[in-house]
Amino acid sequence: MFKVMYRYILIVLLINLVGCSSLKMGENVVFISGNVSGECQLNLKTKSDSELNPINIRNVSGEFAEDFVISPSEQNYIVEVTCKNQLVLSRLVNYPNELNKFELGNIK
């Protein structure tokens, strides 16, 4: 009886280990920085997002550095800055290969 139960437990553990090992767990954080004049909105979304999630929207003014939680996997992100309801910057960034593109500089 114990031998059968031991085998069953071992099989279940192996299935769980093998099944979960292919998943990428965890999160990463990126900082997006720049400088805007006036009140603006900073948005971060993946290329496949059809809508913005409110967690990925920040109100910014002047010099800013905002942090966003993202996936640890390689992915394309779109950074947008909107001022006075006009899109003033849209940038495609391949994470993690183009981290320097999250530094937006002076935005007019």
pLDDT on residue 49:
75
Q: Take residue 89 and report the two structure tokens written for it.
A: 């910057």
**Domain locations in the chain as residue ranges:** 24-107
Residue count (the chain): 108
* CATH number corresponding to 24-107: 2.60.40.10
The answer to whether 76 touches 93, Cβ cutoff 8 Å, is yes
Look at residue 108 in the predicted model and tell me its pLDDT.
79
Residues of the chain with confidence (pLDDT) below 70: 1-26, 50-54
Q: What local confidence, expressed as pLDDT, does residue 33 receive?
A: 97
Q: What is the pLDDT of residue 3?
A: 57
Integer-rounded Cα radius of gyration of the chain: 21
The whole-number pLDDT of residue 15 equals 59
Q: What is the rounded distance in angstroms from the CA atom of residue 72 to the CA atom of residue 34?
A: 23
Question: How many Å apart are CA 100 and CA 108, to the nearest integer?
Answer: 19
- Reference 94, options 69, 74, 73; nearest CA is 74
Backbone angles phi, psi at 86, to 5 degrees: -120, 135
